[in-house]
Amino acid sequence: MSRLHIHIAVDDIEQNIRFYSALFGSQPSVSKVDYIKWELTEPAVNFAISKRGSKPGLDHVGIQADNNDELTAIQSRLQQAGIGGQEQRDAACCYARSDKYWTEDPQGIAWETFHSLDSIPTFSNSDGQAAASGSCAPEINTGGGCCAP
């Protein structure tokens, strides 16, 4: 089986172990003093590129839930770990209508967890729901915890 690899440089290993263990619902498979790895079979990958970010490079990463129960479970794990975020219901972005929960990792990388409800014919709704930069990631107020900006 092939697997997408994402490597993020971090400042605080312990803070990030807590964040990513809560986000993925799994403990690391490799744990060294300076290197931690999760080899996940779930979630599978939804990889997208666009010309709508404020600058080229990583815009955000995320987990697409199969249903609302999975989305709620991810949000609950993050909240139980003291990691705040922002909920969006019926958001119109990226040619889809979705329920979402946004948070940031300790480096400030936006993480979108979402359940797509339907496809739509435009990138965002007519009132410009997508941020002015073109990205769907909102200004995230994590409310403290390990992820305060």
Please state the domain extents for the chain.
Answer: 13-137
* Measured torsion, CA atoms of residues 125, 127, 103, 43, in degrees rounded to the nearest 10: 0
CB 130 within 8 Å of CB 136: yes
| pTM of the entire predicted model | 0.73
Encode pLDDT of 31-59 as tens digits. 888 889 998 888 777 767 676 667 778 88
Spans in the chain with pLDDT lower than 50: 127-133, 142-149
Under CATH, to which class is 13-137 assigned?
Answer: alpha beta
